Structure 1
Amino acid sequence: MNRLTIRKPDDWHLHLRDGDMLKGILPETSRHFARAIIMPNLVPPVVTSADASAYRERIMAALPADDRFEPLMTLYLTEGTDPDDVEKGYKSGLVKAVKLYPAGATTNSHSGVRDLEKVMPVLERMAKIGLPLCVHGEVTTPEVDIFDREAVFIETVLDPLRKRLPDLKITMEHVTTEDGVNYIRAAERNLAGSITTHHLIINRNAILVGGIRPHYYCLPVAKREKHRLALRAAATSGDARFFLGTDSAPHADPAKECGCGCAGCFTATNTMSCLAHVFEDKGALDKLEAFVSLNGPAWYGLPVNEETVTLSKEAQPVSYPEKIETGAGPVTVFDPMFPLFWRVE
């Protein structure tokens, strides 16, 4: 197969930042994607419906004139979040999900939740009205090894929460482990998982072998090869509980290439080419549309996109810019470490 036409894809986990960075990197997503769940971990974070509305206006103002793109807004869950404001935002159609960051888990997560009991009124209201909770599924206690954070989160936080609030719809974002895949597969209802482009391609060797390579450092951190293979099996299976959430996370190069570099891989530019390679490698190109275009809308209760995109396989490798120049500095594009032959026409 050298040509594939699918419904236009969506990205169910995206970082756009703000200001000059937003203006510089938004076109890299809006070029190929119809919609995206927008992460709220700005500084200050997007906590209220008013914050989300203002942020959406800034996104739309930065959108290239010829692109059609819908930002799907989320709220950053804090221990002071007002359940009434959350419900108001949801019923207005503005707020599509609420994001739980354990405090300190990743970039700009210090305003996140330390005591889950303090946000139970919000979670109970969300379960009642059907608003999804997106979780960064890691514990942050220092005694837990960074490579075990996801598995421990499932056991000590996620499973007890799901038993307490079985009607709460939860997206386990950027799943990185076989444990996470198996837990989602075992769930009878109200649990799904997004999978990133880069976690389908790299394992932890990419970060550490041959020197520290900061542009492969992300959170959750890439794990052992067995976990990457489990993610590939899940993504290419057609299972409706798994869908694309790139977690494309831009940082200017100086913030990555320093003594304490930021976490995040910027994959927006070449995600569709990378995914076509992965799915072809697994003999599953017929499952690509489900992963990028069908499963996510079904989970979030939205219609699939009417527009289509066509991917074609070239005889020679497709080239992408090494960096995206923005007013906030250059952002390095994810290098999958193999040639890409698929491109979006």
Structure 2
Amino acid sequence: MPDKHLTDLTIRRPDDWHLHLRDGAMLQAVLPETTRHFGRAIIMPNLVPPVVTASDASGYRDRILAAMPPGASFTPLMTLYLTEDTDPDDVERAHRDGIATAVKLYPAGATTNSASGVRDFDKVRPVLDRMAAIGMPLCVHGEVTDPAVDIFDREAVFIDKVLKPIRKKNPDLRIIMEHVTTEDAVDYVRDTPKNLAATITTHHLIINRNHILAGGIRPHYYCLPVAKREKHRIALVQAAVSGDTRFFLGTDSAPHTDARKLQECGCAGVFSAPNTISCLAEVFDVAGKLGKLEAFTSLNGPAFYGLPPNTNTIRLVKGDPVSYPSHIQTKDGPVTVFDPGFALHWRVES
């Protein structure tokens, strides 16, 4: 049956290869939104203070597991926040003992809680060398932070000024370019034969920069990296629906309370965990590529990380529009759920 006529689809349970769960009251509120549909997730380490050591990651994982809703089957895959003082021995120990799956590189000042990130990349060379030797992946927030570089160009400049030199010095290091937003990044990944992959978010497949700025500022669409021109969104969709094993889902679902989003200097982040799978099914359906949805959400990511795909499944059924709450409540205040701007016809029946 052609993809465009599908109304019932069963796929392996998805994974989220880039997720923010925060901590405390926020963690308690948002975790069930992920465990409802996802089997695993790469957990971002940019807490305050950040998750830098194996001990930090172990403690954070314990807090996540303690917050799990009853009956949930979900595995948090922890990451270590790379700093210029990160100890290679501690990184290797965390990987060997199954505490941390990857290390996260934030250029200092690139996004939320990234002040402890890297400024001098030569200072982290011993860590990157060790990671290449033990096969531990590096997750990269791919933007430069030089104020002289336009915000819409920071991903492309990062590829030339930072990523290419890293890969030249560490060709065996496995790298994930997270939340790519440009045609430049898509082309760079496609032109790279090995050890490089990219995650794509739900919201970057749907919004462009007009959604943020045209007709008024819409803070709930503001994220970092910021959404780009329509041609870049189209390139992301083409990559996601292609079946290319180097592209997979990382939602970058990043909850902030409305009080933190709706202020003079609001926080960057889109909270998409509740409705991501319905949104993605809609995107793939419109593209006539529903048959590729499982690869993007459930197969390509585990293959790059060297993990087996989930054995259980979820079922998606197309019908009347399905609604999701506009907000979820936390003890710290409401968090707005991503609004794709169109009706969602695919319901997830786990």
TM-score, length-scaled by structure 1: 0.99
Counterpart code for 2:330: T
| Residue 65 (structure 1) shift | 1.0
Within 5 Å, which residues of 2 pair with 1:38-117?
38-117=43-122
Q: Which residue of 2 aligns with 1:344?
A: 348
Specify the SS of the correspondent of 1:47.
Answer: coil
Q: Which residue of 2 aligns with 1:143?
A: 148
**What CA distance in whole angstroms lies between the structure 1 residues aligned with 2:91 and 2:207?**
37
Aligned: 1:223 with 2:223 = no
| Residue 329 (structure 1) shift | 1.2
Q: Which residue of 1 aligns with 2:291?
A: 286
Specify the SS of the correspondent of 1:154.
Answer: helix
Residue from 320, 323, 335 that aligns with 1:319: 323
Instruction: Report the count of equivalent residues.
Output: 344
Q: Which residue of 1 aligns with 2:309?
A: 304
**What CA distance in whole angstroms lies between the structure 1 residues aligned with 2:46 and 2:101?**
15
| Residue 160 (structure 1) shift | 1.1
Q: Please list every run of at least 4 consecutive aligned residues from structure 1 whose deviation after the TM superposition is greater than 3 angstroms.
A: none
| Residue 328 (structure 1) shift | 1.9
| Residue 94 (structure 1) shift | 1.4
Counterpart code for 1:144: V
Aligned: 1:332 with 2:336 = yes
| Residue 140 (structure 1) shift | 0.1
Q: Which residue of 1 aligns with 2:207?
A: 202
Specify the SS of the correspondent of 1:6.
Answer: strand
**What CA distance in whole angstroms lies between the structure 2 residues aligned with 1:190 and 1:175?**
16
**What CA distance in whole angstroms lies between the structure 2 residues aligned with 1:224 and 1:132?**
30
| Residue 66 (structure 1) shift | 1.2
Q: Which residue of 1 aligns with 2:11?
A: 6
Q: Which residue of 2 aligns with 1:212?
A: 217
**What CA distance in whole angstroms lies between the structure 2 residues aligned with 1:129 and 1:247?**
26
**What CA distance in whole angstroms lies between the structure 1 residues aligned with 2:107 and 2:45?**
14
**C-alpha distance after superposition, 1:282-328 (max 9, x if no partner):** 100000000000000000011110100000001x2101000000112
**What CA distance in whole angstroms lies between the structure 2 residues aligned with 1:219 and 1:172?**
14
Counterpart code for 2:97: S
Specify the SS of the correspondent of 1:340.
Answer: coil
Stretches of structure 1 lacking an aligned partner (at least 5 in a row): none
| Residue 188 (structure 1) shift | 1.1
**What CA distance in whole angstroms lies between the structure 2 residues aligned with 1:194 and 1:134?**
10
Specify the SS of the correspondent of 1:312.
Answer: strand
| Residue 343 (structure 1) shift | 1.1
Stretches of structure 2 lacking an aligned partner (at least 5 in a row): 1-5
| Residue 107 (structure 1) shift | 0.1
Specify the SS of the correspondent of 2:119.
Answer: coil
Q: Which residue of 1 aligns with 2:282?
A: 277
Specify the SS of the correspondent of 1:94.
Answer: coil
| Residue 178 (structure 1) shift | 0.1
**What CA distance in whole angstroms lies between the structure 2 residues aligned with 1:280 and 1:341?**
10
**What CA distance in whole angstroms lies between the structure 1 residues aligned with 2:69 and 2:331?**
16
**What CA distance in whole angstroms lies between the structure 2 residues aligned with 1:274 and 1:32?**
13
**Percent of matched pairs sharing the same residue:** 72
**What CA distance in whole angstroms lies between the structure 1 residues aligned with 2:331 and 2:39?**
24
**What CA distance in whole angstroms lies between the structure 1 residues aligned with 2:323 and 2:303?**
33
Counterpart code for 2:159: I
- Structure 1 vs Structure 2 CA RMSD: 0.4
| Residue 19 (structure 1) shift | 0.0
**What CA distance in whole angstroms lies between the structure 2 residues aligned with 1:328 and 1:300?**
35
Residue from 125, 139, 145 that aligns with 1:120: 125
Specify the SS of the correspondent of 1:53.
Answer: helix
Counterpart code for 1:122: V
Counterpart code for 1:182: D
